[in-house]
Amino acid sequence: MKLGFIGTGVMGSAMAGHLQAAGNELYVYNRTKEKAQGLVDGGAIWCDNVKTVAQKADVIFTIIGMPADVEEVFLGEDGLVNHAKAGTILVDMTTSQPELAKKIYDAGIQKDIFCVDAPVTGGDVGAKNGTLTIFLGGDEAVCTKLMPYFEIMGSHITYLGAAGSGQHGKMANQIAISGAVIGMVESLTYAKAAGIDLTKIQEAVSTGSGGSWQMTNMAPRAIAGNFDPGFFIKHYIKDMKIAVDEAKGNGVDLPGLELVLAQYEKLQAQGLEDLGTQGLYKLYND
């Protein structure tokens, strides 16, 4: 099948690259063409807009920015649902709102188009290594059909249920990250104040009960003063706000998540929302 890929940013370019390297015919679009140039140089076919991708590809993957962007790309006048052929499969790998995933699914079914929500976690490292964790929501038979593609991009793929379930799964992941990332930052901040070598403590904690993906992967970047985004603060703030809203809608109070959100919003107020999530370290140490 001909594949489409929309959104070739920090993670999308690597994910699309794996699909391309596997020998798939690939049609690509990104708002900033330069970010797709490497894929085009490797043989991908550039499309000038979303509509063209919809008309060319049989399976289309997207990983874009905010829920409003997702709604426009899928449901806008020139969007995927309005221009894809019957039988096309649309896979949104953006972290977005569960209700929007359901809305997109319902709109697709009306036109014999199958829509799957498949948000990912693992950051730029997971995208580059093809080891992403992928949460799936939608028709199980469709998700099963897509497994060969998911297995090119990820190493942990979990089907969670009907449309929107993938997004709920990703929210659970983002909630877990909130505790891990603030724990990592406060651990390093404490060690620094105590005069302990940060690299040594990072290595020691990583091997014990305080170990986490954040401590293993993000702490070394923070210690080195590398705050380049593997995952943008602004996107994590978006995710946390979705999680808070969803939790409240289900009658659940998540004070820990709200605390971490407030800390990140302080960085956003300082104009630092384009840093990576390890940038929380700067709030404590600048």
Task: Give the residue from 113, 140, 162 where a domain finishes.
Answer: 162
The whole-number pLDDT of residue 11 equals 93
Q: What is the mean pLDDT of residues 282-286?
A: 96
Statement to judge: residues 18 and 143 lie in one domain: yes
Return the percentage of the chain with pLDDT > 70, whole number: 100
Statement to judge: residues 148 and 31 lie in one domain: yes
Task: Give the residue from 113, 136, 162 where a domain finishes.
Answer: 162
Count of structural domains, the chain = 2
- What pTM was estimated for this model as a whole? 0.94
Statement to judge: residues 211 and 264 lie in one domain: yes
The predicted-structure confidence for 123-145, as pLDDT tens digits, reads as follows 899 999 999 999 999 999 999 99
CATH of the domain at 128: 3.40.50.720
pLDDT above 90: residue 17: yes
Statement to judge: residues 142 and 177 lie in one domain: no
Residue 249's pLDDT band (cuts 50, 70, 90) = very high
The whole-number pLDDT of residue 10 equals 87
Burial of residue 242 (number of CB atoms within 10 Å: 0-12, 13-18, 19+): buried
DSSP 232: B
Statement to judge: residues 68 and 179 lie in one domain: no
CATH of the domain at 179: 1.10.1040.10
Statement to judge: residues 236 and 117 lie in one domain: no
Question: For the range 66-71, what are the long-range contacts, defined as Cβ-Cβ under 8 Å and sequence gap of 24 or more?
Answer: 66/238, 67/96, 67/97, 67/100, 67/238, 67/242, 69/94, 70/94, 70/96, 70/100, 70/104, 71/100, 71/103, 71/104
Distance CA 149, CA 142 (A): 12
Statement to judge: residues 265 and 240 lie in one domain: yes
Residue recorded with tokens 């990250």:
177
Distance CA 104, CA 167 (A): 13
Statement to judge: residues 249 and 129 lie in one domain: no
DSSP one-letter string for 237-282: HHHHHHHHHHHHHTT---HHHHHHHHHHHHHHHTT-TTSBGGGHHH
Catalytic site residues? 170
The whole-number pLDDT of residue 43 equals 96
Q: What is the mean pLDDT of residues 159-185?
A: 98
Higher pLDDT, 1 or 92: 92
Q: What is the mean pLDDT of residues 154-163?
A: 98
The whole-number pLDDT of residue 227 equals 98
pLDDT above 90: residue 67: yes
Task: Give the residue from 111, 130, 162 where a domain finishes.
Answer: 162
The whole-number pLDDT of residue 1 equals 87
Distance CA 244, CA 202 (A): 30
pLDDT above 90: residue 282: yes
The predicted-structure confidence for 36-53, as pLDDT tens digits, reads as follows 999 999 999 999 999 999
The predicted-structure confidence for 83-125, as pLDDT tens digits, reads as follows 999 999 999 999 999 999 999 999 999 999 999 999 999 989 9
Query: 177: domain range?
Result: 168-285
Residue pair 107/76 in contact by the 8 Å Cβ criterion = no
Statement to judge: residues 16 and 146 lie in one domain: yes
The whole-number pLDDT of residue 65 equals 87
Statement to judge: residues 25 and 136 lie in one domain: yes
Statement to judge: residues 151 and 269 lie in one domain: no
Q: Mean pLDDT of all residues in the chain?
A: 97
Statement to judge: residues 209 and 261 lie in one domain: yes
Residue 64's pLDDT band (cuts 50, 70, 90) = very high
Distance CA 37, CA 30 (A): 10
Return the percentage of the chain with pLDDT > 90, whole number: 97
